[in-house]
């Protein structure tokens, strides 16, 4: 999430809101958000409701939820999806911002 925080303004300038969905309960999630002073929205998903909707993989041998990034447009349509294969497999902000820019151009 540190990389998202570093480039948050670049996303906001493109009218993109970042929503991070995490596996913790609401109280734990809120404590983490406050401790880290994260500027974007956090959504606790302890029952994996959102995870199931977007097909995010859970692999207990790889520490739980695999990273996933989804760009959802204002109509609710997923326009870009990236599923990581390990906890370190997260696209760079430049790649996600390029996908946002491509949506604007298309």
Note the pLDDT tens digit of each residue in 24-76: 889 998 998 899 999 988 888 888 888 778 776 665 555 566 777 788 888 88
CB of 60 within 8 A of CB of 35?
A: no
- Which pTM does this prediction carry? 0.76
Q: Does domain 2-105 correspond to CATH entry 3.40.30.10?
A: yes
Please state the domain extents for the chain: 2-105
Written as six digits, the tokens of 94 are 């430049």
Cα angle 13, 14, 20 (rounded to 5 degrees) comes to: 95
pLDDT for res 31: 93
Is 45 exposed, middle or buried (CB count within 10 Å of its CB: 0-12, 13-18, 19+)?
A: buried
Note the pLDDT tens digit of each residue in 8-20: 999 899 988 888 8
């Amino acid at each position: 999430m540190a990389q998202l925080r570093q480039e948050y303004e670049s996303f906001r300038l493109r009218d993109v809101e970042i929503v991070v969905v995490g596996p913790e309960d609401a109280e734990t999630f809120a404590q983490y958000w406050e401790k880290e002073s994260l500027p974007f929205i956090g959504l606790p998903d302890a029952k994996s409701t959102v995870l199931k909707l977007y097909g995010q993989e859970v692999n207990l041998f790889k520490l739980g939820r695999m990273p996933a990034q989804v760009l959802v447009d204002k109509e609710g349509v997923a326009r870009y999806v990236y599923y990581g294969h390990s906890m370190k497999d997260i696209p760079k902000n430049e790649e996600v911002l390029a996908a946002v820019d491509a949506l604007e151009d298309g």
